[in-house]
Chain A
Amino acid sequence: MTTVATVGTGGEGAGGAAEPYTLSHLDALESEAVHIFREVAGEFENPVILFSGGKDSILMLHLALKAFAPAPVPFSLLHVDTGHNFPEVLDYRDRTVARHGLRLHVASVQDYIDRGVLRERADGTRNPLQTLPLTEKIAAEKFDAVFGGGRRDEEKARAKERVFSLRDEFSQWDPRRQRPELWNLYNGRHAPGEHVRVFPLSNWTELDVWQYIAREGIELPQIYYAHRREVFRRGGMWLTAGDWGGPKDGERVEKRLVRYRTVGDMSCTGAVDSGADSIEKVITEIAASRLTERGATRADDKLSEAAMEDRKREGYF
């Protein structure tokens, strides 16, 4: 009988990574992500990596650097700038771009508001306003593949997302018309004007991301680690005071020891109380956490039961 793998009788095989010809789960995830980057480099004309300065996009860039070493990354970066950024993150972004000699595109929400194309929302949240600048930039620059750091463990609509996700000329996602993904044979065919969103971190979890960052010694913006910061309470989250609209009457600013689990628009990204000031402590904290990162820190996902799905359908990540 020809079989493709060793046959055990069940229950006695060793699951340890010490076995010959096995890979640790981090090595397996890394290898898969690198394969995805190289497929895109081989099949598309004008790919771009969405880069927010958050840990997932930093991880994507790190993987892309390894995938093409010793040659440079054959992709440019795109930052959708809400105008409500953490200064540490912008600083990190600019240093990274300079260090690796990358090309950075910026799609600015503030520009759209200044030109009167988009209107500021009453709640000050700019996350939903990112979709138009993003999709118009994709069309203007004729990007045909757009890498996003989305992970399927983040949110249940994202659990349905493909690694290669076709978007129509309006950047829309139709979850009922997705291509089946078979083996590792990704289908990147698209018509002019359409593009493909590519998610090389699809199979990573938050904990995988942190373990890999620790293993590879990747630098992150300091706001991911515990620090003292002036915050106020809104909607069950600690938000940072800033020009974007807060604190309002009745919201009291206090100085607390906090860190961030995700980095997005300041208006809707909450900090968590934490004393984890090193990566080891962060990993211990996440492994013990009983909250998902989005549940803990993202106001935009709480707008409705299908908030993420609805935004994704329109072209958001």
Chain B
Amino acid sequence: MSTITSEALAETTLLRFATAGSVDDGKSTLVGRLLHDSKSVLTDQLEAVERVSVSRGQEAPDLALLTDGLRAEREQGITIDVAYRYFATPRRRFILADTPGHVQYTRNMVTGASTAELTVILVDARNGVVEQTRRHAAIAALLRVPHVVLAVNKMDLVGYREPVFARIAEEFTAYATELGVPEVTAIPISALVGDNVVEPSAHMDWYGGPTVLEHLETVPVSHDLAHCHARLPVQYVIRPQSAEHPDYRGYAGQIAAGTFRTGDEVTVLPSGRTTTITGIDLLGTPVEAAWTPQSVTLLLADDIDISRGDLLVPSKDAPATTQDVEATVCHVADQPLTVGHRVLLKHGTRTVKAIVKDIPARLTLDDLSLHPHPGQLVANDIGRVKIRTAEPLPADSYANSRRTGSFILIDPNDGTTLTAGMSGESFAAPEPVKGADEEDGWDF
């Protein structure tokens, strides 16, 4: 980091990404290597790792200790939960959601992938695409992570042979494309030796693509706003009621999708009232236009009833409101989700009462088979649910908008976050395919 000037750093962009890999794929080594070779591990952290490694009688510093932060994790040598790591290069800042590959993988990977713009899926070159790889690909597809990197690790153990890599890359890409993953970049690496992680490999002349870090630095993070529906969940109404601002009434929120401009005609959902944007305040500074994910305050022409939980949308592009939400969900809590369960549903800034009307199907990620009417979903299950809400919701399809198509279910009794939800019809495949059984309408 010593070569980075402050001016250059202040202008870099931010990439959020997640890693996925099973226990022995070398994920910790890859993460350690990325942090270490990008010089993001500082001396005192490395010394602490060396000290503990020596005291345990290990020969080399155990880079996994850099990422295992809790007492229980160090004691048991396991990773309990998602951790977030930070590193930087002259081109970009990175937030890495480091998700453990252990038993609770599905909910942890869903948590990490929900905010990620890119997922790195590791496979062991000796084993190729295995069940776990397909599971990771399916979750990346479900969560609509825009970019997927397949890191074929341990190339050193297969003689750095191109055909081994090509076969795995081909098999994975075909599978991921079928699931609807928009982009796959396959990179042959050895995390242990350092091939193609930060530095290009001297062992694989046949590979002409980027290293993992190079790809992370250059993958686009800008949004294609031309095709995005603009959405602003109203978080808070700002009313100073001061001598200086007696009539100021602004609707504050983080733009969830698309662009808003002054002069745009907007509709308030669910009430359906319509007005015009007269001003946009970007944290105290007036601007003409603002886009996702900026936090802004909108000023409107008419004094209509708008409060926290409402959604502001362009009048020409409003989503339908509904009290019957159909969604794909990942159950993240230990207590099961059952038909008839009374829950709270948080969508954007709105929390409403809801009831689970039906659980038409549960998905087995291993072979992507569907189990009809499982009766309940338990921790780490992915399934389809039908939910009736007490008030109409303007839910987009998750396929069109990750922010306004997503929701969480909350237990009203103890506040537990139960379930991650993605509303809309089947979306994992590029084109929805209706099965013979129209009721399921889901094509995994």
From B40-48, B167-175, B260-268, the one touching the partner chain is B40-48
Query: Are the C-beta atoms of B14 and A23 separated by less than 8 Å?
Result: yes
**How many angstroms between the C-alpha atoms of A192 and B305 in the bound complex?**
31
Which of A10, A160, A292 lies in contact with B210, CB distance below 8 A? A10
Contact indicator per residue, chain B 305-322, by CB within 8 Å of chain A (1) or not (0): 000100000000000000
Query: Are the C-beta atoms of A38 and B332 separated by less than 8 Å?
Result: no
**How many angstroms between the C-alpha atoms of A69 and B114 in the bound complex?**
30
6 inter-chain pairs at a CB distance below 8 angstroms, sorted by A residue, are A11-B210, A25-B12, A38-B236, A67-B283, A203-B95, A309-B71
Interface contacts (Cβ under 8 Å), in number, total 291
Residues of chain B within 8 A of A184, CB atoms compared: 115, 254, 403
Is A95 engaged at the interface, CB distance under 8 Å to the other chain? no
Is A139 engaged at the interface, CB distance under 8 Å to the other chain? no
Of all chain B residues, the one with the shortest Cβ separation from A212 is B10
Which of A21, A30, A305 lies in contact with B291, CB distance below 8 A? A21
Contact indicator per residue, chain A 25-43, by CB within 8 Å of chain B (1) or not (0): 1111111101100110110
**How many angstroms between the C-alpha atoms of A13 and B52 in the bound complex?**
41
Query: Are the C-beta atoms of A284 and B6 separated by less than 8 Å?
Result: yes
Task: Taking A35-B295, A182-B420, A283-B6 as given, write out 14 further A-B residue pairs in contact, using a Cβ cutoff of 8 Å, ordered by the A residue number.
Answer: A5-B182, A7-B183, A8-B220, A25-B12, A157-B70, A176-B81, A182-B332, A185-B347, A203-B84, A211-B6, A288-B1, A291-B42, A295-B42, A309-B70
CB B298 to nearest CB in A, in angstroms, measures 13
Most central of B114, B182, B235, B245 by chain A CB within 10 Å? B235
Query: Are the C-beta atoms of A70 and B284 separated by less than 8 Å?
Result: yes
Query: Are the C-beta atoms of A183 and B402 separated by less than 8 Å?
Result: yes
Residues of chain B within 8 A of A20, CB atoms compared: 222
Query: Are the C-beta atoms of A22 and B222 separated by less than 8 Å?
Result: yes
Residues in A256-315 with C-beta less than 8 Å from chain B: 280, 283-284, 287-292, 295-296, 305-306, 309-310
Query: Are the C-beta atoms of A291 and B43 separated by less than 8 Å?
Result: yes
CB B214 to nearest CB in A, in angstroms, measures 7
Query: Are the C-beta atoms of A41 and B236 separated by less than 8 Å?
Result: yes
Residues in B229-260 with C-beta less than 8 Å from chain A: 235-236, 238-242, 244-245, 248, 252-254, 259
CB A313 to nearest CB in B, in angstroms, measures 9
Query: Are the C-beta atoms of B115 and A160 separated by less than 8 Å?
Result: no
**How many angstroms between the C-alpha atoms of A305 and B74 in the bound complex?**
10
CB B82 to nearest CB in A, in angstroms, measures 8
Which of B13, B218, B291, B295 lies in contact with A25, CB distance below 8 A? B13
Is B400 engaged at the interface, CB distance under 8 Å to the other chain? yes
Most central of B225, B291, B295 by chain A CB within 10 Å? B295
Query: Are the C-beta atoms of B403 and A160 separated by less than 8 Å?
Result: no
Of all chain A residues, the one with the shortest Cβ separation from B71 is A306
CB A199 to nearest CB in B, in angstroms, measures 11
Is B134 engaged at the interface, CB distance under 8 Å to the other chain? no
With contacts A70-B244, A287-B1 known, is A160 near B239, CB below 8 A?
no
Residues of chain B within 8 A of A1, CB atoms compared: 180, 182, 430-431
Query: Are the C-beta atoms of B71 and A5 separated by less than 8 Å?
Result: no
Per the CB 8 Å criterion, the residue count for chain A at the interface is: 90
**How many angstroms between the C-alpha atoms of A6 and B219 in the bound complex?**
10
CB A190 to nearest CB in B, in angstroms, measures 6
Query: Are the C-beta atoms of A189 and B415 separated by less than 8 Å?
Result: yes
Query: Are the C-beta atoms of A178 and B111 separated by less than 8 Å?
Result: no
**How many angstroms between the C-alpha atoms of A39 and B350 in the bound complex?**
11
Query: Are the C-beta atoms of B13 and A187 separated by less than 8 Å?
Result: no
Is A207 engaged at the interface, CB distance under 8 Å to the other chain? yes
Query: Are the C-beta atoms of A215 and B408 separated by less than 8 Å?
Result: no
Is A208 engaged at the interface, CB distance under 8 Å to the other chain? yes
List the interface of chain B (C-beta within 8 A of A). Answer: 1-2, 4-6, 9-14, 42-45, 48, 52, 66-72, 74, 80-86, 88, 91-93, 95, 107-108, 110-111, 114-115, 117, 144, 146-147, 180, 182-183, 185, 209-210, 214-215, 217-225, 228, 235-236, 238-242, 244-245, 248, 252-254, 259, 281, 283-284, 291, 293-295, 308, 332, 344, 346-347, 349, 399-403, 406-408, 410, 414-417, 420, 430-431
Which of A16, A22, A41, A187 lies in contact with B417, CB distance below 8 A? A187
Is A111 engaged at the interface, CB distance under 8 Å to the other chain? no
Of all chain B residues, the one with the shortest Cβ separation from A5 is B146
Is A12 engaged at the interface, CB distance under 8 Å to the other chain? yes
Residues of chain B within 8 A of A179, CB atoms compared: 416-417
CB A24 to nearest CB in B, in angstroms, measures 6
CB B52 to nearest CB in A, in angstroms, measures 7
Residues of chain B within 8 A of A13, CB atoms compared: 218-220
Residues of chain B within 8 A of A106, CB atoms compared: none
Residues of chain B within 8 A of A157, CB atoms compared: 69-70
**How many angstroms between the C-alpha atoms of A108 and B187 in the bound complex?**
56
Query: Are the C-beta atoms of A39 and B235 separated by less than 8 Å?
Result: yes
**How many angstroms between the C-alpha atoms of A180 and B45 in the bound complex?**
27
Query: Are the C-beta atoms of A10 and B283 separated by less than 8 Å?
Result: no
